[in-house]
């Protein structure tokens, strides 16, 4: 029996494997990756490495075994529902003990949520014991892009005065680890979000406070923001999706606070101010 993590060298998957190593023997962890070299550090610590690609179903043949607990970390490419189905079908064929999926908040109504809802339906239809980890927004979605913000002295978004109940990737990873190493989670859906919600005006003020620079929030229309993104070279469909998320934020769809995440990980979630600080040091 293994705890199997797909996308294990990705931004979220890396956190999950690191935290699993603190909880269980390394030999009980299987990291599924596309590039073995990127997983060399995990292999050196005794983690089992499996090379497989969501786009190549045959690479998942025999990868899972009966009794495995599997974390399916959602893909980011176009057509990802089909990719996810590759993993789900392989998990079903093996008869895994648990399939956890990183989904989107139930409150989110933007197009970004469509693939997640479709994947949830495939997971449920598989008949496997499942857990839906409906992750809200990551602090790092914004703090990883501080350089242009500081250069321009402005935070530009199409979110109006909406608020974001975000948490750090490490927080969401801790929730996945709690599910994968604990008991009593089967057939549950967890709506996960940060303990506090912040506005982009507050976000800009916090960056200014920590850097000593003047940073202001400039709200723009959704269409304007989408056009700005395409002007930066982002494909139009992706730009529209990103702008749609901002519209969802303005409508309050990513500002829901329910304390489920902090309860699951048994500690407070990471404030946006702490993630800003870490990014500035980093």
* Residue extents of the structural domains in the chain: 3-135, 137-166+193-255+271-282
Task: Tell me what pLDDT residue 75 has.
Answer: 86
Q: Considering the chain, what is the average pLDDT of its residues?
A: 95
Cα–Cα distance for residue pair 265/275, rounded to 1 Å: 18
Is the fold of 3-135 the same as that of 137-166+193-255+271-282?
no
d(CA 121, CA 102): 13
* Contact in structure between 104 and 253 (CB atoms under 8 Å): no
Residue 1 pLDDT exceeds 80: no
Distances (CA, A) of 59 to 3, 54, 108, 217: 18, 8, 33, 47
pLDDT in tens, 77-134: 667 899 999 999 999 999 999 999 999 999 888 777 889 999 999 999 999 999 999 9
* Confidence (pLDDT) at 232: 86
Q: Tell me the DSSP string of the chain.
A: --EEETTTTSHHHHHHHHHHTTTS-GGGEEEEES-GGGGHHHHHTT-EEEE-BTTBGGGGTTT--TT-EEEE----STTHHHHHHHHHHHHHHHT-SEEEEEE--TT--STHHHHHHHHHHHHHHTT--EEEEEE--BTHHHHTTHHHHHHHTEEEES-TT-EE--B-HHHHHHHHHHHHHSSS-TTEEEEE--SS-EEHHHHHHHHHHHHSS--EEEE--HHHHHHHHHHTT--HHHHHHHHHHHHHHHTTTT----SHHHHHHTSPPPPHHHHHHHHHH-
6-17 average pLDDT score: 97
Give this prediction's pTM: 0.95
- Reported as a pLDDT band with limits 50, 70 and 90, residue 18 is very high
| CATH superfamily name and code, 137-166+193-255+271-282 | UDP-galactose 4-epimerase, domain 1 (3.90.25.10)
What per-residue confidence (pLDDT) applies to 80? 87
State the fold for domain 3-135.
Rossmann fold (3.40.50)
- The pLDDT score that the predictor gives to residue 42 is 98
For 44-81, write each residue's pLDDT tens digit: 999 999 999 999 999 999 999 999 999 999 987 667 89
Tell me what percent of the residues of the chain surpass a pLDDT of 70: 99
């Amino acid at each position: 029996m293994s705890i199997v993590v797909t996308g294990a060298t990705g931004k979220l998957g890396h956190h999950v494997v690191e935290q699993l190593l603190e909880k269980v023997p390394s030999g009980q962890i299987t990291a599924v990756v596309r590039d073995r070299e990127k997983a060399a550090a995990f292999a050196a610590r005794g983690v089992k490495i499996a090379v497989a690609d969501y786009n190549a179903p045959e690479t998942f043949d025999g990868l899972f075994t009966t009794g495995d607990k599997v974390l399916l970390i959602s893909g980011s490419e176009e057509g990802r529902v089909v990719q996810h189905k590759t993993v789900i079908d392989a998990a079903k064929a093996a008869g895994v003990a648990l399939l956890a999926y990183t989904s989107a908040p139930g409150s989110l109504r933007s197009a970004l949520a469509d693939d997640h809802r479709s994947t949830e339906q495939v997971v449920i239809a598989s008949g496997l014991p499942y857990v839906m980890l409906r992750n809200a927004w990551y602090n790092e979605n914004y703090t990883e892009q501080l350089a242009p913000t500081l250069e321009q002295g402005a935070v530009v978004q199409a979110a109006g005065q909406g608020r974001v109940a975000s948490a750090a990737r490490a927080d969401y990873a801790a929730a996945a680890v709690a599910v994968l190493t604990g008991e009593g989670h089967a057939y549950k859906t967890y709506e996960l979000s940060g303990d506090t919600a912040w506005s982009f005006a507050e976000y800009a003020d916090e960056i200014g406070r920590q850097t000593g620079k003047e940073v202001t929030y400039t709200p723009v229309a959704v269409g304007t923001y989408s056009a700005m993104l395409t002007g930066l070279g982002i494909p139009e469909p992706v730009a529209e999706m990103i702008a749609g998320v901002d519209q969802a934020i303005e409508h309050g769809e990513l500002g829901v606070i329910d304390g489920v995440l902090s309860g699951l990980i048994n500690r407070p979630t990471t404030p946006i101010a702490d993630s800003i600080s870490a990014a500035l040091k980093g």
